[in-house]
Amino acid sequence: MEEKILIFGHKNPDTDSICSAMVKQRLNRRMGYTKCHAGRLGNLNKETKYVLNYLNLEEPELIEKVEEGQEVILVDHNEFNQSAEGIEKAKIIGVIDHHRIANFETSEPLYYTARPYGCTCTILYKEYKQRDLEINKEEAILMASAIISDTLLLKSPTTTEHDKRALEELGKIANINITEYGLEMLKAGTDLDDFSAKELINLDAKSLNKENIKYVIAQVNTVSIEDVLKRQKELEHAIEEEIKEKGLDLFVLAITDILNSNSEILVLGKKSEIVETAFNVKLENNRAFLEGVVSRKKQLLPNIDKNI
């Protein structure tokens, strides 16, 4: 049986996580590394399904756990608590990421690429260019979709000039109208009606740990914050169950309006005061409105993290 090199992003995968794994597989195979296989660590959200349906592509294989010594390449994450079960004993041969580096250790040297860009696929775009490899239409749409998703069509504060230039070029290669395609893709991801409350709070959730305080920052995108908050009691019950099950000190759910670039946060847990201090707000009915806040990586996480 062929030994695979598994490529995958984080748990609760988003569009960048999935597209980066698929693009990295294609890039490596173009370079002769045929053993590389893209995978996923969870179910796809509707936004990502829109992308794969648009391209008529199958979902990457689901990876339940990795065995000791399994060769892996991590994309769009590096923290072990966001990765596959068994990652501590896997052989990590590469990482491509745009997040902070934390809770990460290997026993052997590896290829590690970290850039403070808005999207992992922007880094992969640069790798194609550096190797003078032609980007085909399918690869262009995968990378463009990831950049649109992570930067909210270049409106997020995480957006860099690198992302803007990459998206412009990828749009030309793909021969699509980036704005029209991007809005349809983002709107597809805001259809939340058939998700249970438990599924909703885990659609895009990151587990974190600092100073022995365990917390989660989850995020859902919408075109109507009010519609999501109609389910507040149901969401609170699901969050309380999650806190109890995982022994969390804090759970923050950011409900982000992708059209107006604001968020309402729903906060529960015994350390809720951390959030009040972090954003200079008073939680009312477990909620607070954060004007102009759309990025977990650049706005939510740093503010919360430095107040723990």
- CATH number, domain containing residue 232: 3.10.310.20
Q: What is the mean pLDDT of residues 169-173?
A: 98
Select from 187, 205, 222 the last residue of a domain.
187
Q: What is the pLDDT of residue 194?
A: 86
The pTM (predicted TM-score) of the whole model is 0.85
For the chain, give the percent of residues with pLDDT over 90: 93
Select from 187, 206, 237 the last residue of a domain.
187
pLDDT tens figures, 236-289 = 999 999 999 999 999 999 999 998 999 999 999 999 999 999 999 999 999 999
Residues 82, 180 within the same domain: yes
Residue 246 CB-half CA count within 13 A: 21
Chain centroid to CA 154: 16
Domain span including residue 90: 5-187
Q: Which residue is listed with tokens 């529960």?
A: 268
Whole-angstrom Cα distance, residue 113 to residue 95? 6
pLDDT tens figures, 201-215 = 998 999 999 989 999
Residues 177, 256 within the same domain: no
Select from 153, 187, 221 the last residue of a domain.
187
Residues 11, 130 within the same domain: yes
72 in any annotated domain: yes
In a 3-state reduction of DSSP, which class is residue 7?
strand
Which CATH number goes with the domain that contains 89?
3.90.1640.10
Element of type H or E holding 49: helix 46-55
Residues 183, 206 within the same domain: no
Q: How confident is the model at residue 193 (pLDDT cuts 50, 70, 90)?
A: confident
Integer CA distances (angstroms), 248 to 111, 182, 271, 299, in order:
34, 35, 9, 21
* φ, ψ (nearest 5 deg) of residue 279: -115, 5
192 in any annotated domain: no
Does the pLDDT at position 121 exceed 50?
yes
Q: Which residue is listed with tokens 């995978």?
A: 39
Q: What is the mean pLDDT of residues 166-185?
A: 97
Q: Is the dihedral of CA 224, 46, 147, 73 positive or negative?
A: positive
Residues 86, 140 within the same domain: yes
Residues 162, 222 within the same domain: no
Does the pLDDT at position 2 exceed 70?
no
Split into its structural domains, the chain has a count of 2
Characterise 188 by phi-psi region: left (phi > 0), alpha (psi -120 to 50), beta (else).
Answer: alpha
Q: How confident is the model at residue 3 (pLDDT cuts 50, 70, 90)?
A: confident
Residues 168, 236 within the same domain: no
272 in any annotated domain: yes
Does the pLDDT at position 96 exceed 80?
yes
Integer CA distances (angstroms), 203 to 169, 197, 200, 298, in order:
30, 10, 5, 19
Chain centroid to CA 204: 7
Minimal CA–CA distance to 14: which of 135, 94, 112, 118? 118
Residues 231, 89 within the same domain: no
In a 3-state reduction of DSSP, which class is residue 269?
coil
Residues 22, 148 within the same domain: yes
